[in-house]
Structure 1
Amino acid sequence: MKKSIFFLICLFTVMAHSQEIKPIPQISVTGEGKVKIAPDQVLILATVETKGTNAKDVKKQNDQQMEAVLKLVKSMDLAPTDYKTKRVSLNPQYDYEKKKSSYNATQTVEILLKDLSKYDELMEGLVDKGINRIDNVTFQSSKLAQFQSEARKLAMKEAKIKAEDYVSVLGQKVGAAITIADNSQTYYPQPVYAMRAMKTESMNDAAPRETMAAGEIEITANVSVSFKLD
């Protein structure tokens, strides 16, 4: 009996206390910030692929071509940390119609080129030395974190301006932020493929060429903010 009376007293106390709590006047808005920048580096994923009927010969040919590729990369004064082997494979293949086996060897190298003026020279050299597959070319910025921070600040400023616009006709003022939620999606650089990567017989080697259009990188930040109203 005593326990029941104690429980009822606690219940009435909580109910009385909850009735005294008043909701905080607030406004919830969203904000978006965008920053457009020119890329200053490019990430290249390139592959040497060789085929044949003898696994040892196919692998040897593949290794020789990749060795020539890596020598080219080193000759362009790239830092050792700016290139690395990404994938290596040697797979048997069987032709059921001809009833013959063959082998396919691949090696993929990832190259970070921080001097875009060397792009054409590097791409032509890669093909000359044995690269026969350009998997993708992705333009990036070395100052990505800095520009992401700028985009977030712009998003917060837009959210506050929105809130001030809404309450300006009500005679109220926007106070401190109560909650802030980052709704931004993770930024992934989009691959941009070169217009020409391989030489053709009709191409005039003496003529100046432009084989890429780096364009701009757009970084977007989105936030949801609840402000207290004074």
Structure 2
Amino acid sequence: MKKLVLFLTIIFMTMSYGQEIKQIPQINVNGEGKVKVAPDQVCISATVETKGTNVKEVKKQNDEKIDAVLKFIKKMNIPTADFKTKQVALNPQYDYDKKKTNYNATQTIEIVLKDLTKYDEVMEGLVQQGINRLDRVTFESSKIKQYETEARKLAIKDAKAKAEDYVSVLGQKVGKAITISDNTQVYHPQPMYATMRMKESSDAMGASNETLAIGEIDITANVSVSFILD
């Protein structure tokens, strides 16, 4: 009997608590904060890809091209900490029609170029030294964390301003925030040819002779906020 009384008491308290929470007047709004900044660095992911029927020769050619690429990068006075080998692969590919095995060697170098005035020269030089595939070119800001913080603060201010607009005609005031959800997604601009495969000819990067209009990075924060109404 005592257990039954205790059980009913807990159920009653839980129901009362739930009803009390539901009765709290509140408003749910979304807020957006946006900061526009000019990129001050670019991340380049570039690959040397070599194919052939002789595995030793394929690897040798690939290594020689990578060696030339690394020497060029150092010649451009890019700090050692700003470039690294990202991926190395040597794979057999069997041709069922010709009944023979070909080999595909790839090495990927990732470079963070912090002097954008060197961009065209670096891109042209990479291709001339053997790079024949650009996997990714992303323009970034070295102060991204700082700008993300600014965007989040602006998003919260925007949410509160919206809430105040809605309740101003009701004679109520916006109180404390009770829940905040971050719905932010970060986007980095990329040039159109960032993922294209290039020819090995010297004119493969003709587009890189032109100055890119990279514009600005939109750093946007989106939040959902629930405010108590006083």
User: TM-score, normalized by length of structure 2?
Assistant: 0.85
Identify if the C-alpha distance between structure 1 residues 62 and 4 changes in structure 2 by more than 3 Å, giving closer, same or farther. closer
Query: Alignment RMSD, CA only?
Result: 2.9
How far 1:15 sits from its partner (Å)? 7.9
Aligned-partner SS, 1:119: helix
Alignment match, 1:60 = 60
The 5-angstrom pairing of residues 6-21 of structure 1 reads 10=9, 14=13, 18=17, 21=20
Number of residues of Structure 1 aligned to a counterpart in Structure 2: 223
Is contact 2:189–2:214 with CA below 8 Å preserved after alignment?
A: no
Alignment match, 1:143 = 143
Is contact 1:40–1:114 with CA below 8 Å preserved after alignment?
A: yes
Aligned-partner SS, 2:24: coil
How far 1:97 sits from its partner (Å)? 2.4
Is contact 2:41–2:140 with CA below 8 Å preserved after alignment?
A: yes
The 5-angstrom pairing of residues 36-185 of structure 1 reads 36-185=36-185
- For residues 220 and 121 of structure 1, the distance between their equivalents in structure 2, rounded to whole angstroms, comes to 32
How far 1:67 sits from its partner (Å)? 0.4
- For residues 68 and 139 of structure 1, the distance between their equivalents in structure 2, rounded to whole angstroms, comes to 25
- For residues 49 and 3 of structure 1, the distance between their equivalents in structure 2, rounded to whole angstroms, comes to 74
Identity %: 63
Structure 2 unaligned blocks of 5 or more: none
- For residues 51 and 11 of structure 2, the distance between their equivalents in structure 1, rounded to whole angstroms, comes to 83
Is contact 1:41–1:139 with CA below 8 Å preserved after alignment?
A: yes
Aligned-partner SS, 2:36: strand
- For residues 153 and 109 of structure 1, the distance between their equivalents in structure 2, rounded to whole angstroms, comes to 37
Identify if the C-alpha distance between structure 1 residues 19 and 118 changes in structure 2 by more than 3 Å, giving closer, same or farther. closer
Alignment match, 2:203 = 200
Identify if the C-alpha distance between structure 1 residues 168 and 42 changes in structure 2 by more than 3 Å, giving closer, same or farther. same
Code of the aligned partner of 2:47: T
Identify if the C-alpha distance between structure 1 residues 49 and 170 changes in structure 2 by more than 3 Å, giving closer, same or farther. same
Is contact 1:94–1:102 with CA below 8 Å preserved after alignment?
A: yes
Aligned-partner SS, 1:90: strand
Q: Residue by residue, what CA displacement relative to the aligned partner does 1:157-177 show, whole Å, maximum 9, x if unpaired?
A: 111111111111111111221
Is contact 1:172–1:229 with CA below 8 Å preserved after alignment?
A: yes
Identify if the C-alpha distance between structure 1 residues 199 and 38 changes in structure 2 by more than 3 Å, giving closer, same or farther. farther
